[in-house]
Amino acid sequence: MSTERATETDEQIVDAFAAHLDLERGRSEHTVRAYRREAAALLAHLREVERIAPAELDVTALRSWLGARAETGAGASTLARSAAAARTFTTWLAATGRIPHDVGGRLRAPRRGRHLPAVLTDEQAGSLLDGIVTEPAPRRSDAPAPGADADSEDAAPARGGTPTPGATAGEGTAAGGAPAEERSEVDPVQRAVQLRDAAVLELLYSSGLRVSELVALDLGGIDMAQGTVRVRGKGDKERIVPVGVPALEALRRWETEGRPVLAGATAAGRGTAQAPGNGRAGTSAARRAKAPGRALFLGVRGGRLGDRAVRTLVDRYAARAGIARHVTPHTLRHSAATHLVEGGADLRSVQDFLGHSSLATTQIYTHVSAERLRSTVEQAHPRA
């Protein structure tokens, strides 16, 4: 090991590792952030508990760290993710000469128990998607005019309160002007938000996208003629996914009628939302591609819509549709896959649809379908 490497601080090591994941491996921002956190925790354990330098890392120290995580109450899934991050970290440490050899290959985490994802029924999905009003409507006399603070949409709670229908959290604060009872004209910003929300929900369910894939979409990512969306998923892998007719219509209306309204917010001087990120993982092409001007989905200030805002609007519309459970964008992804399997789609096609690298990951949806069938039989069959 060089003298320069020997004097590296833990923070410098973690920064270099994160840059490798971002710039060389093309990992998602979420993965970079999670692996950075795990690497920093491992190095802190080496210093504070094992009393050794990073260059002295061995499998015993790795197991000690994982054991400490388990003692704090971490479950099997969390430990499996920690072990995966540690193996990636030690591989990089060995490849860059920071440790003599890769010791992570011998690290094993507890086997994950089978966890069946929560999914919506066909009727619940229909209620959720059909419940968005996208036709022009006058401002209600008791509703504030939306459009004051776009970025606070990322911070408001999903459930609770009574936000203006169609407005994402934070999009309903009046910026001044005539009293509410004097405003009877159609609010273009509110309607644009409704059109956006309809397109977001339809696309999440129709194409089974991850929320990170959806917010990263740029103009031109939807091929209206072919009825497909070009997605860049985990590991920077690209796939082309079909888009259903209702989703295409919602997207067409958003792009032609709604998006120009919110895009004009930047020109009107409301500011531009920053792309998500902590600013420490490098400036890869994937990060530069997140420039707000190219974004398909926008917030009310004209910046790229964030994943937290999408989670908020999904759960809020689900509550409005009378769905009691907590609903996330991933619930819609799970539901789309389950409904495909129940409809007779083969697992290989569903694997390609979801962008899974392993068919074993996709097979969980056969178990979900079987459990749903079992529940139906137990409730309906007279001799179940």
Per-residue pLDDT tens digits for 2-49: 555 667 899 999 999 999 999 988 888 889 999 999 999 999 999 999
Q: What percent of the chain has pLDDT over 90?
A: 47
Residue 230 structure tokens: 């070009």
Q: Is 333 assigned a catalytic role?
A: yes
Question: Which candidate in 33, 253, 294, 330 is catalytic?
Answer: 330
Query: What φ, ψ does residue 230 adopt, rounded to 5°?
Result: -95, 120
Question: Which candidate in 36, 183, 210, 304 is catalytic?
Answer: 210
Per-residue pLDDT band at 268 (split at 50, 70, 90) = low
Residue carrying the six token digits 């079909």: 242
Task: Judge contact between 139 and 190, C-beta under 8 A.
Answer: yes
Per-residue pLDDT tens digits for 356-371: 878 877 777 777 666 6
Query: What φ, ψ does residue 305 adopt, rounded to 5°?
Result: -65, 135
Question: Which candidate in 98, 333, 334, 339 is catalytic?
Answer: 333
pLDDT the model gives residue 254: 97
Higher pLDDT, 95 or 265: 95
Looking at residues 283-294, what average pLDDT do you find? 53
Q: Is 356 assigned a catalytic role?
A: yes
pLDDT the model gives residue 277: 41
3-state DSSP call for residue 138?
strand
Residue 153 structure tokens: 């949409």
- CA pair distance 20, 14, nearest whole angstrom: 10
Q: Annotate 212-224 with DSSP letters as a single string.
A: HHHHT-BTT-EET
- CA pair distance 17, 26, nearest whole angstrom: 12
Question: Which candidate in 33, 234, 308, 372 is catalytic?
Answer: 234
184 pLDDT exceeds 50? no
- CA pair distance 217, 370, nearest whole angstrom: 34
Per-residue pLDDT band at 181 (split at 50, 70, 90) = very low
Residue 204 structure tokens: 């999440």
Q: Is 234 assigned a catalytic role?
A: yes
Q: Is 330 assigned a catalytic role?
A: yes
Per-residue pLDDT tens digits for 124-172: 999 999 888 766 555 544 444 333 333 444 434 445 443 444 444 444 4
Give the pTM: 0.62
